[in-house]
Amino acid sequence: MQIGAQSLVDALKFVVVKHPRDSHGDQATIDAQWRALHYLDRPDYARVIQEFEALVAILEGFGAEIGYLPRHPATGLDSIYVHDPVVPVEGGVILGNMGKQARRPEPEAFAEYLGALGVPVLGRITEPGLLEGGDVCWLDRRTVAVGQGYRTNAEGIRQFRELLGHRVDRVIPVPLPHWTGPDDCLHLMSFISPVAERTAVVYSRMMPVPFRQWLLEHGWQLIEVPDEEYETFACNVLALAPGICVMVAGNPVTQSRLEAAGMEVHTFPGQDLCIKGGGGPTCLIRPMLRR
């Protein structure tokens, strides 16, 4: 199978998702797990399914091929956020090592699925290294920024750079803020989502000054998320193709700013699927091939 996704904006060709029936199972499973996983509130299983299927309908309408990650006995609710356990690059995947202890089995579970598809595993991040996919932000095919915080550490970035080898020219470590602490899900892509070439949705109040300055010096257009829409995942935007994106409904200011910048915006309801669990559309989709 052809694999390659050293971009966050090229057109989606093949993606992997996980249906809530295989991550959440039922309402009883949700009730048993959501507090320990530090969710904001108790998700409603029926609404989770409805919201997930609304997102998948957008992907299907765009024409992306969709693979479904199967149920695995070692994984829980968080495994619906398939973006984090693996990082696809040209020619295969790199397995992460999850900073959230409850998610440690997910990379190997994902690898079992990819093995059945014939996707090569090029390497894996090993202890004491940590790396999660939400901290990996491709700025172009040869330049990648990697957040360094509670989910991804310096050793994980060092191993990642080594495994990337000739595939990149530059790896930019980006120190992350403490924010609300190690139990929260804060990734680099919690405050930046590229949506077209050198164009990104950002929440600048979270951005390290040197990283923000680097983007501006390299000609990036930054579309700002207002304070009142950050907590409703306005900064978590998935590009389907350059200038075509999907975001959680209910963020009218950010949506209007995207549209004013020439973007085509699709929305879906995400109160139970995204906001309560701490992962938006980018987290729910693992692009395996973009072209």
In a domain, 4, yes or no: no
Look at the chain and report how many structural domains it folds into: 1
Structure tokens at 131: 């790396």
**What integer is the mean pLDDT of 123-143?**
98
**What integer is the mean pLDDT of 174-180?**
92
**What integer is the mean pLDDT of 262-282?**
97
Check residue 179 and give its pLDDT: 86
Share of the chain above pLDDT 90, in %: 96
In a domain, 126, yes or no: yes
> Which positions ≥6 away from 55 have C-beta within 8 Å?
246, 268, 270, 273, 281, 284
Check residue 163 and give its pLDDT: 98
Looking up tokens 């996983």, which residue turns up? 37
**What integer is the mean pLDDT of 155-172?**
98
Q: Which of 121, 194, 124 is nearest to 159 (CA)?
A: 124
Structure tokens at 57: 């309908």
Q: Is the pLDDT of residue 183 over 90?
A: no
pTM for this entry: 0.96
In a domain, 249, yes or no: yes
In a domain, 88, yes or no: yes
User: Does residue 56 contact residue 108 with C-beta atoms inside 8 Å?
Assistant: no
In a domain, 3, yes or no: no
Any idea what DSSP says for residue 228?
H
Tell me the residue range of the domain where 225 lies: 12-290
In a domain, 58, yes or no: yes
In a domain, 2, yes or no: no
In a domain, 27, yes or no: yes
We report the CATH number of the domain holding residue 125 as 3.75.10.10
Looking up tokens 């992460």, which residue turns up? 96
Determine which helix (DSSP H) or strand (DSSP E) holds 152, and give its type and residue range: none
Q: Using CA atoms of 116, 122, 124, 129 in order, give the dihedral in degrees to the nearest 10.
A: -160
